[in-house]
Amino acid sequence: MSDTDRDYDLVLWGATGFTGRLVAEHLADRYGDGALDWALAGRDANRLAAVRDSVTDRIDHGDADDADGDAMDGTTGDGDDNATVPDLLTGDAHDRASLDALAERTAVVCSTVGPYARHGSPLVAACVDAGTDYCDLSGELQWIRRMVDEHHDRARERGVRVVHACGFDSVPGDLGTLLLQSHAAETFGAPCSAVRALVSVRGGGFSGGTLASMVETAAAADRDRAVRRVLANPYALAPEGERGGPDTGPQRGVRRDPETREWTAPFVMAAINEPVVRRSNALLGYPWGREFGYRESLAVGRGVGGAAVAGALAAGQGLAAGALDVPPIRRALDRFVLPDSGEGPDRDAVEGGSFEMRLFGRGASADHPAGYAVEATVAGDRDPGYGSTSRMVAEAAVCLARGETDTPIEGGVSTPASGIGLPLVDRLEGAGVSFEVSAREGAER
């Protein structure tokens, strides 16, 4: 629901956070020439002004003199007359009136304020009430499920797109699968019956906000049996009555990929990405079939070395997950060990990192009884968690603001593939995240 009567195309909520600042930089770099009416929002006007100053420097129009966020036309006088300096808006994640006021002024809210289970619910409610599209970086499965339960029907009726998981979780897997399956349908007239994804990551690290979100999820599971049930169900994000299927959940332990012969370890983000892809299939009306199977794994390498590293990674992840399940360890990590909010990997790690996700689909049909293979690759030339994530969520927000969506649903609590679709692939292609797809007859390599 892109609304041109609003003051802004897009408000970035959480612009002072580690990821929020990167999103602001991306928007300035790509759309700061006046292509977007936008505002930076958060709870602290001074910190917001500092972010705006650095963003304004990037678009080389140093007119950011409105630190208190009061009225300004958002247009600089020097340099490019069309360039827009973002306005500043303040509010608090727990002050509903401030969120209503914010949501009513913009066509889209892009939120990087997390942990979402702690800070995110009132904003989603405010956006649905205001008829404002929304996207975020949440990878918190239990919270997304809560938003589905509380808001999906109303958002759908009102034509409001609430699009969760617009970062590294879950854009590569979700849009990679959409692209692969669209290509299968075009080329062979039918989708692949199963897709598996192998992920390789270089560089990066974790920010305070991401680690706080992981701690938050572990604590919620500890407190609440219903949360544990949601986390344990591979179809937890499917519509009620459709929460079953062939998939049994993320990979456990070490495996060898049957085709590439690489050793693989469990991929920590599969816990959210796999249910997101299944929700996409459901919301799109099951174009990939009700028996569609999807799995993600971390690709480590071939040979004895690959097996050893995969084993070490699998064991390490098991230990880390086990530690988060123990309340005193969790509290100690939270207080003394984990980075603070606003902290994260340094610039070199963000800009020097990269990721690649290779998706392999296999299918067969009456016209192609020998089967067919479709493969897609999604890659980013920055670290996945922050450098590429900030591009993904920023471009998702721009798609929503421009009404660039290509899906059968008009609204609801959705996913990148079901709430935005292939237009996000097109936007990301121009923004440092590449997508490739190819197909061949015969399922054998």
Residues that bind ligand NAP (CB under 6 A): 14, 16-20, 42-44, 47, 92-94, 112-116, 119, 137, 139, 167-169, 207-210, 213, 341-342, 344, 385-386, 389
Q: Which residues pair with 266 in a beta bridge?
A: 297
Q: Are 294 and 270 in contact (CB under 8 A)?
A: no
Q: Which two tokens stand for residue 422?
A: 């292939």
Which residue is listed with tokens 């797109």?
A: 161
In this complex, which beta carbon is closest to ligand NAP, that of residue 36 or of residue 269?
269
CB of 93 or CB of 195, closer to ligand NAP: 93
* Beta carbon of residue 146, minimum distance to ligand NAP (angstroms, whole number): 15
Tell me the closest approach of the beta carbon of residue 250 to ligand NAP, in angstroms: 16
- In the complex with ligand NAP, the residue whose CB is nearer, 187 or 317, is 317
Comparing CB distances to ligand NAP, the nearer of 164 and 278 is: 164
Minimum distance from CB of 360 to ligand NAP (Å)?
22
What is the C-alpha to C-alpha distance for residues 326 and 31, in angstroms, rounded to an integer? 45
Cα angle, residue 256 at apex, residues 253 and 260 outer, rounded to 5°: 145
Question: Going by C-beta distance under 8 Å and a sequence separation of 6 or more, which residues neighbour residue 368?
Answer: 188, 190, 441
The residue count for the chain? 445
- Rounded Cα–Cα distance for residues 401 and 404 (Å): 8
Cis peptide before 54 (omega within 30 of 0): no
Cβ within 8 Å of residue 70, ≥6 positions away: none
Letter string b/e over residues 321-359, b meaning 16 or more CB atoms within 10 A of that residue's CB: eeebeeeeebeebeeeebbebeebbeeebbebbbbbbbb
| Residue closer to ligand NAP (CB basis): 41 or 190 | 41
Q: How far is the CB of 182 from ligand NAP (least distance, A)?
A: 23
Nearer to ligand NAP, 128 or 171 (CB): 171
Sheet holding 133-136, edge to edge: 87-90, 38-42, 8-13, 106-111, 133-136, 161-163, 412-414
Within 10 angstroms of residue 256's Cβ, the number of other Cβ atoms is 14
CB of 47 to ligand NAP, least distance (A): 5
Q: How far is the CB of 28 from ligand NAP (least distance, A)?
A: 17
CB of 216 to ligand NAP, least distance (A): 8
- Nearest approach in angstroms of CB 154 to ligand NAP is 24
CA distances from 305 to 88, 203, 262, 313 (A): 52, 20, 11, 12
Q: How far is the CB of 116 from ligand NAP (least distance, A)?
A: 6
Q: Angle 208-223/225-232 helices, nearest 10 degrees?
A: 110
Distance (Å, rounded) from C-alpha 361 to C-alpha 158? Answer: 36
Q: Which is nearer to ligand NAP, 194 or 378 (CB)?
A: 378
Smallest distance, ligand NAP to C-beta of residue 308, A: 28
Rg (CA), the chain: 21
- 331 to each of 169, 216, 307, how far by Cα in Å? 25, 10, 34
At its nearest, how many Å lie between ligand NAP and the CB of residue 108?
A: 17
| Identity of the residue, 3 or 92, whose beta carbon is nearer to ligand NAP in the bound complex | 92
Q: Which of 118, 328, 320 is nearest to 222 (CA)?
A: 328
Q: Whose Cβ is closer to ligand NAP: residue 93's or residue 374's?
A: 93
Distances (CA, A) of 350 to 340, 344, 346, 380, 384: 18, 9, 6, 11, 8
